Chain A
Amino acid sequence: MRLTPRTAPADTAPAGASPAARTAQAPAVSFERVGKSFGTVRALDGVDLTVRRGETVALLGRNGAGKSTAVGLLLGLDTPDEGAVRLFGAAPGTAVTAGRVGAMLQDGRAVRRVTVGELVSFVAAAYPDPLPVAEAIELAGLTGLEGRRVDKLSGGQVQRVSFALAIAGGPELIVLDEPTSALDVEARRAFWASMRTYAARGNTVLFSTHHLEEADAFADRIVVLHRGRIVADGSGRELKEAAGGRLVSVELAGPAPRDLERLPGVVDFELDSGRARLRTTDADATVVALAGLGMVRGIEVTGATLEDAFLALTRDPGAATGATTATATATRNTSTSTSTSTSTSTSTETHRARGVSAPGHASADTATGTDSAADTSADDSAGTGAGTATGRAGRVEEIA
């Protein structure tokens, strides 16, 4: 019973991340079905990721999405419970010892009682082919501060020291965990300019962030992590397109009508300060339907932003919660049957046309499985859970 909700999305999630073709040259970074738990928390769950050499990749996710865990595994600071992490085709520790990796860790605070110059020189000298110290210091925007003690610097300056340490050794791969958290707007701009300069030399950059604009502006590719899984992988433009085209927003005259998501084309909606914002795959049909309801005041149709895409990708849909509950109920009722939800779903598929391609793939799959499980126990007092699941499946069909 516990297996059902867990395996279904696990099978679907990595399918979105196309496994990149293996080149003769090993990729800078590769995660193969990597899992990591801390106690009962599943920090990473079946992550597949390949970063080619020279790419600049953003690891985007909310706090707690698994970004820092991924970075820790990447640097060999931690070991995965399942799967394998490789850097340049070798174990992370090997690549780190060989001086191919530089890192800027999250919350790296000031190293005490050491000057900027001493610290950067020491780290640079530990690498086989470092940048000239003055160059690393200049790239990090620390010129003139070489003689200052790191623990006497401001938070933003300390963060620049961390960046200097990441690049000092001239590594082929730099890993930056939330690199701009302590920087003001101007310092951020300067930081990203430096990062680009370093990337432009053919180096690979992987940075984690929860700032959408930063991911969109500075990465070739955005990998969205949510609850330890990769839920999207592509350029900012691709993500926006995948999120479902357009956004229709309209003023609400009174209380919002129920079932706004049942309108044609609408995949999602939210209510915000007197406006309804509907994400739609068919803006024309949605607008016509809204007009039919007399809702045309202040109507606006815009392209979806990356923020919309991100919110859609990382939302924990109410549908999924309901479906999980339903699965539990239904599975309990069919405890005599040995069939898993996957096999039942196949058997019922024949006499039920179902919108498999419906958006929100993971939750749709769960709902499908749930519904069919409920079907087998229809004569039972399956009760509310099963009933809800059936209703939802109906909705999915309608929208698709």
Chain B
Amino acid sequence: MTGATGTMRRYVWLEVRRTLRDPGFVIFGAGMPVLMYLLFTRIGQGGQPPGDLAAWRVQSMIGMAAYGALGAAVGTGTGIAEDKQMGWLRQLRTTPVRPGRVVLGRAVAGSVTVLPSLLLVLAAGAVVNGVRLDAWQWPALVGLMWLGALPFTLFGMGNGYRLSAQTTGVLNVGALVGLAVIGGLWFPVDLFPGWLRSIAEFTPANRFAALGWSTAAGSAPAAATVVVLLGWLAVCGAYAVLSYRRSARTA
């Protein structure tokens, strides 16, 4: 048991290191969210009343943290598709590491790499933009948003096991940008027309960010938010499992 757990821990660590060296992760998971956060909150905001600007800096911080977490999460799938293509997944299947543990290890590694994305944007908010929250709010933000990223990790993994590396890359980036825009991570959904806004509030990225927005407002997440996210978790989890089974049959 200790041996198997040790192998799992080593596998997670191996994959985390590989992800941190990935330019795709550095760009979509870390660089872009921080850059966009600073651009959106520091340029062209001069005419705003100070109270509105402070609120926007908090809202955008959480939106961009969610965007970065989303990028890191779906990026896990891009890595899987690439590893499938390069034969690494097949090679792993010839080692004593059990296939189920490889999948689980990958999901854990994906979740771990979500953390730096979250933390970087939150740090930019606190340090550069002077965002101030209560002491309990910071860890609550990190914890909730970390958990909330799981459906996206599973969605990316589902694509990775099912599709080619190229298709997965395009689809994951497309999904990332699409979900970020419709979910109001870049611009507030308040700016959307009413019909689009009601759609937006059922999209996973919007509910994901809502976990953070409610925390920053000092309240617990709404029940509807949790229900919608659990629904997406179930859908994406099933998708990942089905994709993995299919790839195991044809690999």
Contact = CB atoms under 8 A, between A and B. Distances in A.
Interface of A: 75-77, 96-99, 101-103, 105, 107-114, 118, 122-123, 125-128, 162, 165, 169, 175
Contacts, number: 74
Q: Please name the 7 residue pairs, one residue from A and one from B, whose CB atoms are nearest each other, closest first.
A: A103-B94, A113-B21, A99-B96, A113-B18, A108-B87, A109-B86, A111-B88
A136 B135 CA distance: 51
A122 B82 CA distance: 19
Interface in B79-108: 82-83, 86-88, 90-91, 93-98
Given A102-B94, A126-B10, A162-B91, 13 more contacts: A97-B96, A108-B90, A108-B91, A109-B87, A111-B86, A112-B18, A113-B18, A114-B17, A118-B14, A122-B11, A123-B95, A125-B7, A169-B95
A40 to B, nearest CB: 17
14 contacts: A99-B95, A105-B87, A105-B90, A105-B91, A105-B94, A108-B86, A108-B90, A112-B82, A113-B22, A118-B17, A125-B10, A126-B95, A162-B91, A169-B96
A75 B94 contact: yes
Contacts of B7: 125-126
B10 A110 contact: no
B12 to A, nearest CB: 11
B86 A122 contact: no
A232 B136 CA distance: 74
Contacts of A128: 3, 96
Contact of A165 (B86, B91, B251): B91
For the residues of B in contact with A, the DSSP-based class is helix
Contacts of B17: 113-114, 118
B87 A97 contact: no
A130 to B, nearest CB: 10
Contact of A111 (B19, B83, B98): B83
Contacts of B87: 105, 107-109
B50 interface: no
A77 B82 CA distance: 19
Contacts of B91: 103, 105, 108, 111, 162, 165
A113 B18 CA distance: 5
Most chain B CB atoms below 10 A, which of A77, A111, A162:
A111
B194 interface: no
B6 interface: yes
B251 A77 contact: yes
B18 A114 contact: yes
Contacts of B96: 96-99, 126-128, 169
Interface in B15-57: 17-19, 21-22
Nearest to B88: A111
For the residues of A in contact with B, the DSSP-based class is loop
Contacts of A76: 93
B10 A122 contact: yes
A127 B251 contact: no
Nearest to B19: A113
B177 to A, nearest CB: 24
B236 to A, nearest CB: 25
A112 to B, nearest CB: 7
A101 B93 CA distance: 11
A109 B93 CA distance: 15
A110 B7 CA distance: 22
Nearest to B97: A126
A96 B96 CA distance: 6
A123 B95 CA distance: 7
A97 B3 CA distance: 12
A114 B22 CA distance: 10
B94 A122 contact: no
A70 to B, nearest CB: 14
Nearest to A168: B95
Contacts of B14: 114, 118, 122
Nearest to A79: B249
Most chain A CB atoms below 10 A, which of B96, B97, B251:
B96
B72 to A, nearest CB: 15
A118 B15 CA distance: 11
Contacts of A109: 86-87
Contacts of B10: 122, 125-126
A77 B18 contact: no
Contacts of A107: 87
Interface in B98-121: 98
Most chain A CB atoms below 10 A, which of B6, B83, B87, B95:
B95
A176 B112 CA distance: 35
Nearest to B14: A122
Contacts of B3: 128
Nearest to B23: A113
